[in-house]
Structure 1
Amino acid sequence: MRQQFLGVTPTPRRYAFQHAGLDRAEHLRKDAAALDACWPDAPVLILDVEGQARFAGSDDQPEFPRGGQCLAQRPEIASFLGLDEGGQAWFALPAEVLPELPAQTLDLRSAGTRWAALPAAVFAQARALLHWQQRSRYCGACGGALVLERGGFCARCPQCGIEHYPRTDPAIIVAVSDGERLLLGRQASWPPKRWSVLAGFLEPGESLEQTVVREVMEEAGVRVDACQYACSQPWPFPSALMLGFHAQAQPQPAQVSEELEEARWFTAAELRDGAVTGEVRLSPSLSISRWLIDDWLAQQP
């Protein structure tokens, strides 16, 4: 498929987890002495078994405990997340290793809209990393128990020597337009009147552009003529990376598929008026899907 630049000026990006985040400082992951020295004063993201953060302070102004307040010595299970702009190290820790936990809890979706950009991005990183660790306890090749190394970013099998690394699942998310209308779909499990752009995971051997074409055809029966990459968003629910596209298609009927309850074209006026009247409920501002819709609307008269 021919890739084509669409010639639009994107709107400012205002979705969650887009902060530059921490300097991952990969060179420190093997330096146990350096990590031990960082531990006492380092902010620690504590995550419970449900993936929620545990902290002090308030939901809008979280206060993270320091490593020395959690445990006197850095445990091997503590994951080194990186360094902030001031050179401060950050760690993540599963809640079950602590004798006492901070009282406040908050899920990642809520933190993405309520916390400052940096701690929200750090929470997203910690959530994805610890989710992988919890599900990577045994070697897929020989069944041996895995040992975490490199600051929590590698799980090595002492039995066969294979190293396992965190996985991220790439998925496309695409705003398809026929020049005057935007293609949206809704799933049966969503709240009434909720609509969003189409999305789907890459399959083996596919390019991103091929995935855009396949997913739009599978979900809505619409053939894409051209697409252009727009932006990306880490989506650690639990471990995806959303790769946003704008795409063009010829005017053609949308079809219902097994994946969607309904798919249809909307004019800019229908989306704007529907958002005011409540007849159309768009994706929340947390997600890249809403940014893609707003970006398309910004280009329409």
Structure 2
Amino acid sequence: MLRHVAYSIAPGSLALSRPVLDRAADRRRDDDWLDKAWAASDTQVVLVAGDQVQVVDDRTALRFLPPAEAPEGPRVFLGIDRESGAGMTADGRAVFAVLLEGEADESYGGLRELGGVLNDREAGIAAHVVGLANWHAVHTHCANCGEHTEVVDAGHVRRCPACGLSHFPRSDPAIIVLVTDDQDRALLGRNAAWPEGRYSTLAGFVEPGESLEAAVRREVLEETGVIVGADIAYAGSQPWPLPASLMLGFYAKATGFDIEVDDDEISEAKWFTREDLRALAEAGTMALPGAISISRRLIEGWYGDSLTGSW
């Protein structure tokens, strides 16, 4: 008999799922409060160029500027740091971002590089603002009438001045799953575009009208031919604003174990024992997902410890 899925992701291990700021959505339409917050000397501003955020020289933290030193550009109110003390008011210290045009220079870094080194507060800020910046970059015009949209609600809405339609940031739900068989082996696959030795858990976007559990079964079957039964357990979620996904992690038990890859997205898939995985990772012949990914945490949750080697 198949055992119930009992693995878990270690609390706090998902690098981009550690928000600290109060997003204070009720302040986004309060122009007087926003002006006061921007004028406060202890307000912090982070600069964003494309999907890169500005960092300090040793690249271990975000670089924050006072508003007086921030360049011109669309402002996004990210929230209030209530743990920082009194700040500009009893609310706490406000945090903004300025979205810049053009390419990022060497003083900027991306989430793949920074996610594992930033503290909880700054990782949450980076994930929030990169997601918003990516959304703004591709929603400059109204999907209903084609008119150029205006930024409102402190950077969290774009409104069409012609037809009045409001456009809100979206996160596309995607499932990511580690499947095990009746011998407690893990199913990992290699994307057709990846080099030899690079493996990960299976993932895919949720389709319209589809439940998360149905998406797990469909994606695993489509990509590998493996059948997943009713034993599916939610493990955790992580924003992946590259450009706009929310990764919903699961563990699942297979009831049909024969592998037949689709040769489209997945070119190779295998069942791995813990001993297989450790030996290959230590030998350097297998590369696992990076430390900030939920895929890595799903694998290590099943394995029961940390593993070496990453993309």
Deviation (angstroms), 1:43: 1.6
> Which runs of 5 or more structure 1 residues have no equivalent in the other structure?
none
Matching residue of 1:154: 157
Deviation string, structure 1 residues 164-184 (Cα, Å, up to 9, x no partner): 100100000000001321000
Asked if 2 retains the 8 angstrom alpha-carbon contact of 1:54 and 1:106, the reply is: yes
Paired residue for 2:75, among 63, 73, 78?
Answer: 78
- Indicate the larger mover: 267-276 or 86-95: 86-95
**Contact 2:19 / 2:125 at 8 angstroms: preserved in 1?**
no
Contact 1:14 1:285 in 2 (8 A): no
Matches of 2:93 and 2:76, distance apart in 1: 14
Q: What is the percentage of aligned positions where both structures have the same residue? A: 40
Tell me the equivalent position of 1:250.
255
Name the aligned partner's letter for residue 260 of structure 1: I
Whether contact under 8 Å (2:157, 2:167) holds in the other structure is yes
Q: 1:54 to 1:142 in 2, by over 3 A?
A: same
- With over 3 angstroms needed to count, the CA separation of the structure-2 counterparts of 1:118 and 1:70, relative to structure 1, is same
CA contact (8 A) 2:19 2:123 kept: no
Q: Which consecutive unaligned segments of at least 5 residues does structure 2 have?
A: 85-91, 306-311
Once the two structures are TM-superposed, the CA of residue 17 in structure 1 deviates from its matched residue by 0.8
| Residue 46, structure 1, aligned to residue 51, structure 2 | no
Distance 1:212 1:77, change over 3 A: same
Partner of 2:36: 37
**Per-residue deviation at 1:10?**
4.5
State the 1:190 CA deviation.
Answer: 2.1
Q: Give the total of aligned pairs.
A: 289
**Aligned residue type for 1:263:** A
**Cross-structure match for 2:238:** 233
What is the Cα deviation at residue 25 of structure 1? 0.1
Tell me, what secondary structure is at the counterpart of 1:281? coil
Amino acid paired to 1:178: D
CA distance in 1, matches of 2:207, 2:100: 35
Aligned match of 2:208: 204
In the superposition, the TM-score normalised over structure 2's length comes to: 0.87
2:217 maps to what in 1? 213
1:95-134 equivalences in 2 (<5 Å): 95-96=100-101, 104-134=107-137
User: 1:167 maps to what in 2?
Assistant: 170
Contact 1:83/1:90 (<8 A) preserved? yes
- CA distance in 2 between counterparts of 1:228 and 1:217 reads 17
Contact 2:228–2:256 (CA under 8 A) maintained in structure 1: no
Distance 1:191 1:14, change over 3 A: farther
Cα deviation for residue 52 of structure 1 reads 1.4
Q: Secondary structure at the match of 2:279?
A: helix
Q: Match for residue 88 of structure 2?
A: none
Alpha-carbon shift at residue 27 of structure 1 (Å) = 0.6
